[in-house]
Amino acid sequence: MDIDLLAKFRPVAAPQIIEDAYSADQFERMVAVINREGPWTLILAQHFKTPEEVIATTSGSVPEGFKPTWDMFLSPVFRGYFAKGSTSLYPELEDCFFNKRFLDLARGYWGAKYAQPESMLFNLQGPCPMGGMPHIDGTRFRGVDMDNTPPWLLNTMCKSTLFKPWQAKKAQVIAWYYKGSVGGGFHYWPEGPGNPYQTIEAPMWGRAVVVENEMMYHTAQANGPEAMRRPAGLDITSTIETDPDHAGGWRIMTEGQVIQQIPAIESRYLFHWNAQVFMDLDELKVTLDHKDDLTHERVFDVFIADLRQRGITFEVPSDPMYDPAFIGLLTRTYDHGFPTHMPTEPLTPLAA
């Protein structure tokens, strides 16, 4: 573990909790879109090509030569998007995405002059184990982002702190809607994985945090009845859709077969609004002019130079973007270590 690296890795400010993130009408319209536009695929299936890429986004790494499998990471959490590329994908949700309140919160969180809404996604799940090892969200850099770069590389760039001059300043408003009685909260490590975590407890309905999740490790608290958290038959191709037999419920499908039905009371929604902020007009111009953008070649040149400066012996792969051995090397080199404080999964309802 690189202590100097960890000292540089902090969110710009502690998470700020707000209530009533969306109106009842906005929530109903968002759920209506989720119902209408499904089915939805697993988060893992959307963002990762190999298990090695998943490890690169989390805290802790695996020994050299160890071969991870999808089964190590499968969790019944599904995702879709309401907005991408600063564009609302559904006209009926434009007021949710082009959200004056959220823009003010993002600017205030950073003390910045400008903010631009970038994207808006949702996570949908029923009962679920804790969301794996603490992780960071994929950020973007000038010239290198989710549109042209796999998440593992973006996260490793972020964890390395080598690319800070090009890293976008980001703020999120993350809101939860969950009425279940067991778990369902949000764990976060505001001082890094080597320090104690904090938890925003559920049940919650419209509670949200303003946060920089690219620079703060976090994970979801387990939720729902323990026996339902790992549905038999879940695999990387599974999807979730409206359950036509139960109002407000959902069903998980694998190869055309229902493997789990989720009652409305156990449904957990997460709405993730994301913006880029600019401290002043000069910073905005640098981004818009593209005069100091990164390229993939430049990114790997920086990594390779740093690895050599550290005295690490390795062979430069022909395709570093997708070479499992090189991904593993970068993951181990810039790993922030396993958390020293980990939550236990809740099994019973919170005391009244």
**Residue 339: its pLDDT value, please?**
82
Q: 3-333 adopts what CATH topology?
A: Jelly Rolls (2.60.120)
pLDDT at residue 129 is higher than 80 = yes
Asked whether the predicted pLDDT for residue 337 surpasses 60, the reply is: yes
- φ, ψ for residue 323 (rounded to 5)? -85, 115
Please give the pLDDT value at position 62.
54
pLDDT at site 64: 63
Domain limits of the chain?
3-333
Cα-based distances in Å from 35 to 80, 204, 229, 244, 348: 11, 21, 22, 10, 30
Residue 245 has φ and ψ, to the nearest 5°, of: -95, -10
Whether 61 shows a pLDDT value over 80: the answer reads no
- The predicted-structure confidence for 192-203, as pLDDT tens digits, reads as follows 888 899 999 888
For residue 226, the tally of other CB atoms under 10 A from its CB is 15
Instruction: Specify whether the CB–CB gap between 184 and 223 falls below 8 A.
Output: yes
Q: Is the pLDDT score of 346 beyond 90? A: no
pLDDT (tens digit per residue) in 273-303:
999 999 999 999 999 999 899 999 999 999 9
pLDDT digits (tens, 9 = 90+) for 147-181: 899 888 998 999 999 999 999 999 999 999 999 88
Please state the separation of Cα 240 from the chain's center in Å: 19
pLDDT (average), residues 91-119 = 98
